[in-house]
Chains A and B, each alone.
Chain A
């Protein structure tokens, strides 16, 4: 048992903290207001070595492990959750290719994801009729004598406006459920790939979310990632790891809001005393601090298990459902502590509140996490 960080983990956390305070924080409010893809932030993240944190160094990554990744994501999300989600997805795309790619695919793509050549990587999994259940997927990849032809459309693609590389899931045969699904590597400049207009969202305005259309996109033979029909396995690994990222992101947002609320409670006076001296306010802050601490431990435990090569599906789901819901509660309490000013755009808490809400939805809704969890619980509980 050891709750302290090793040197590499401490270094990565510090590097992310510096990047967050020097690059992300000054631009976060403007980015939220103006929207659009955060090009400069991504370029700076590449320079800071934050685009491939858990990717082997020989492929251009930092090789720092999943715990360091989680710590870095939390630090970045404190300053700008929108940029952080683009960075998270990029990290996971690089991890997935490093894990499932052929040697040629790894050499071709992973370094470009880590050094920013691709600007950012993206996953294209969801469709209008296939979200939590990939069995309903309709996008198809047809085999030709030169490779594959991709036909169909996708929804909710983070960084869809600017990604230089997509991992796209498509049906390659009619086997029922998830068995007929394969994953493909699709460069952003592939002819026939049409990027949709960014969605207007409640929050995360500094990250773009678009639809994608594939009009007969021709892909070479070696665009296939992992074996044919193994796409679901790739998706599950991306999602399990992604859940740790989103739990870490939510935690960062919740912590940022709570920090703002604590500072406010210390300064803002009513009835002759700082409001932080009233138990009504102390209760809210104590509950937020405690719940965020629990979220931190669940998240780090899931990351640690992943790093050790242990099963971590159950722990990642616990971390995600708990961290996102409790961080939302923390943002809501922070807003309440700030009173009216928390409801205005003068306060970052207003943005925190909008940004954190999506963490209970993407990368598997809270409801899907509970389905995963109950399945795991039925299999085993409390015997270990």
Chain B
């Protein structure tokens, strides 16, 4: 047992904290309002190593383990959820899928620009009507000579309108369900790829979420990822991203908790700072405990992933626990701020909106419970 993060990770976190304090905190509210991140941000994130977290150094990445990666994401999320979600989905959905299955030639082409921030990645899996049951997706892949032709609509694609490379899930045989799935790399300038619309969301507004359409998009054979089991790839990619989303939930909740604590120490009612009333103390004690527990579960899942141990159930548990607890912590933080918390003068309303997505993305809270219920069979059957 060793619960310390160690010096290396602590130093990296400090560099993210410096960056967040200088480059993110002053602008986060404006980015949320504008519903977009500034175009120069990816290059800055890339310079810090945040866009190639687990990419090998020789390809321009930071070559970090999962524990270090989620530690940085948590820190980043404490400054802005949208930035953290962009970084997480780029790293663990798009780049993560490539690292698993792309051949060396493709990796050599794609990784350096993606790690540096010159090219963002997106991951297009869900469709209108297809969410938790991904094996039912309908985007069709048809072989046409020495290319593939892709046709279909994709929903809620992160970096959908800005990504240079979209990792697209499609089916070569819809009746085969899981066995029919394939993965393709579709470039932004591919004819037939169009953005239907930017999706306006409750929170994480500065992140780029879009619905996209593929109309007879031609993909060369070299951009079809070779895999014997695309379904297993997708599950593994989602495991990683769930751990990352749990880390984001922790970071957002920690920011909300910090605001609430500072406000409670400052705000006076009936002659005392409200922090002296047990009504407020109770909330803060429970929020801090939940956040600590969520963070430990996230770290354990990341550690298991890094050790090569099975981590599916641990990832599901971390997200199942972290997401609703983060929402509750943010809501209580808003409550502690009273009416002010409901205004955009304070960041807590944004924290609450941002945290809410964690209970939906990569499988809803309900889907996590199903995964865990299956896992319990083995864990408690001793």
A residues sitting closer than 8 Å to B (CB atoms) are: 1-6, 9, 67, 258-259, 262-263, 266, 276, 279, 282-283, 285-287, 289-291, 293-295, 297-298, 300-301, 304-305, 315, 318, 321-322, 369-371, 373-374, 377-378, 381-382
Interface hits, B53-107 → A, CB 8 Å: 67, 78
CA distance A5 to B317 in the complex (A): 21
- Check if B2 sits within 8 Å of A1, measured CB to CB: yes
14 A-B residue pairings within 8 Å (CB atoms): A1-B6, A1-B67, A259-B380, A262-B376, A276-B373, A279-B370, A283-B369, A289-B375, A290-B320, A321-B289, A373-B289, A374-B278, A374-B285, A381-B261
Chain B residues whose C-beta falls within 8 Å of the C-beta of A259 in the assembled complex: 380
For B265, B275, B379, B380, which residue has the most chain A Cβ atoms within 10 angstroms?
Answer: B380
Shortest beta-carbon distance from A199 to chain B in Å? 29
- Check if A378 sits within 8 Å of B304, measured CB to CB: no
Whether, in the assembled complex, B281 has its beta carbon less than 8 Å from a beta carbon of chain A, the answer is yes
The residue from A290, A370, A382 contacting B257, defined by CB atoms under 8 A apart: A382
The residue from A5, A6, A298, A304 contacting B289, defined by CB atoms under 8 A apart: A298
- Check if A298 sits within 8 Å of B1, measured CB to CB: no
- Check if A301 sits within 8 Å of B372, measured CB to CB: no
Q: Mark B271-306, 1 if CB is under 8 A from A, else 0.
A: 000010010011011101110111011011001100
Chain A residues whose C-beta falls within 8 Å of the C-beta of B377 in the assembled complex: 262, 266
The residue from B285, B303, B304, B379 contacting A369, defined by CB atoms under 8 A apart: B285
Given known contacts A1-B299, A285-B376, is B282 in contact with A381 (CB within 8 Å)?
no
Q: Mark B104-115, 1 if CB is under 8 A from A, else 0.
A: 000000000000
B residues sitting closer than 8 Å to A (CB atoms) are: 1-6, 67, 78, 254, 257-258, 261, 265, 275, 278, 281-282, 284-286, 288-290, 292-294, 296-297, 299-300, 303-304, 317, 320-321, 368-370, 372-373, 375-377, 379-381
- Check if A6 sits within 8 Å of B281, measured CB to CB: no
Chain A residues whose C-beta falls within 8 Å of the C-beta of B275 in the assembled complex: 374, 378
CA distance A287 to B379 in the complex (A): 14
Shortest beta-carbon distance from B256 to chain A in Å? 10
Additional A-B contact list (12), CB under 8 Å, known A1-B4, A289-B372: A2-B303, A262-B380, A262-B381, A286-B368, A286-B370, A301-B3, A304-B1, A321-B285, A373-B285, A377-B285, A381-B258, A382-B257
- Check if B5 sits within 8 Å of A371, measured CB to CB: no
CA distance A305 to B2 in the complex (A): 9
- Check if B1 sits within 8 Å of A4, measured CB to CB: yes
The residue from B265, B285, B293, B375 contacting A298, defined by CB atoms under 8 A apart: B293
The residue from A67, A286, A301 contacting B296, defined by CB atoms under 8 A apart: A301
CA distance A270 to B275 in the complex (A): 51
Chain B residues whose C-beta falls within 8 Å of the C-beta of A9 in the assembled complex: 1
Chain A's closest residue to B369 (CB) is A286
Chain B residues whose C-beta falls within 8 Å of the C-beta of A322 in the assembled complex: 289-290, 293
Given known contacts A300-B1, A369-B285, A382-B257, is B292 in contact with A318 (CB within 8 Å)?
yes
Given known contacts A1-B3, A297-B293, A373-B288, is B304 in contact with A286 (CB within 8 Å)?
no
